[in-house]
Each structure stands twice: as structure tokens, then as C-alpha cells.
Amino acid sequence: MVAMTVDELQAFLDAHFPHHTGKVESVGRHTARMRLPVGDEHLRPGGTVSGPTMMALADSCMYVAILGQIGPVALAVTTNLNINFLRRPEPRDMIAETRLLKLGKRLAVGEVGLYSEGDEEPVAHVTATYSIPPDRGDG
């Protein structure tokens, strides 16, 4: 059971983070999936998706997975994010798939696989930790 639906999560992101570019595709028990329609603004020289673009998508998907479980907590924040770039991403939609490994009262730990649309092999692997505030008001 999830605390927020896909539509609720997308509306929350749109309201609180107007510059985000990802689209929430699914949320489940300790999981989330997002898509980033890749445009020229996401590419670096050489025609590949930039590292900062991939990090932002991974961070957003981790946030969505957490909020999908605990509800609208705007002040949950990233405390650590580690990314391993595995192969060159193609200049097409980027998919992020998150799995929460631990969801406690104050910390959440998860991993995110990043994929170029249509590829089975990940282009990056991310681990991240979030701090969850003790006052879980919807900010």
C-alpha cells in the first residue's frame, strides 16, 4: 500500500519543485519509477546525457519512492548520493528505477538504476540516503 498515488506525487513535485523535469510513472511498496524526456538541454558535448542530469533524476526518483511510502514530507532531504557511471547513455529518454533498502523513522536508504530507454543494461547505479524530519508536516 502506498501513501501517495502517481498523480499525487506528480502534483506534489510540480507544486514544490517547479523546475524538475521528470515524470512519475509508477510507485509501489518501496519502489518508484520515473522518466526524463531527454532534450538538448540535458546533453553534454559528444551527444550524451550529462552526469548532473542523471544525478538529478536519480535524486528525484529516490525522493518519490520515499514520499510514496510516508506521504507529502517536503523537508525530507538528501544526505548522501553516490553514483557510478557504468556506460555511455544514449540521447533518448532516461528511466530511473528506485528500490528502498531501508525506510526508518529518520533515515531512508535506497538504490537507483538509470537506463537509456529500450536498454536492459543500466548506464548508472546510484545509492542514496535521505534524512526524514521528525515533524512530518506536509510543508
Query: What does the alpha-carbon distance between residue 5 and residue 18 come to, in Å, rounded to a whole number?
Result: 19
pLDDT band, very low/low/confident/very high, at 136 (cuts 50, 70, 90): low
Q: CA 9 from chain center: how many Å?
A: 12
pLDDT tens-digit readout, 6-22:
999 999 999 998 887 79
> CA geometry: angle at 39 spanning 33 and 40, to 5°?
145
Nearest-angstrom CA–CA distance, 117 and 115: 6
Q: Does 138 fall in a domain?
A: no
What percent of the chain has pLDDT above 70? 97
- 35 contacts 80 by C-beta, under 8 angstroms: no
Residue 139 has pLDDT above 60, yes or no: no
Q: What's the DSSP call for residue 46?
A: T
> pLDDT tens digits for 93-132?
999 999 999 999 999 999 999 999 999 999 999 999 999 9
Please tell me whether the overall predicted TM-score, pTM, comes out greater than 0.75 for this model.
yes
pLDDT value at position 72? 95
Cα separation, 40 vs 91, whole angstroms: 9
**Residue 18 confidence (pLDDT):** 82
CATH code, domain carrying 125: 3.10.129.10
Structural domain includes residue 43? yes
**Domain span holding position 74:** 6-131
112: in domain = yes
Q: For position 135, what pLDDT does the model report?
A: 74
Top pLDDT among 21 and 33 is at 33
Q: Could you give the number of structural domains in the chain?
A: 1
Residue 38 has pLDDT above 70, yes or no: yes
Q: CB–CB of 122/113 below 8 Å?
A: yes
Residue 101 resides in a domain? yes
Strand partners, 81: 128
How many other CB atoms are found less than 10 A from the CB of residue 54? 23
Average pLDDT over residues 50-76: 96
The contacts of residue 30 (CB under 8 Å, 6+ apart) are 65, 69, 99, 100, 103, 110
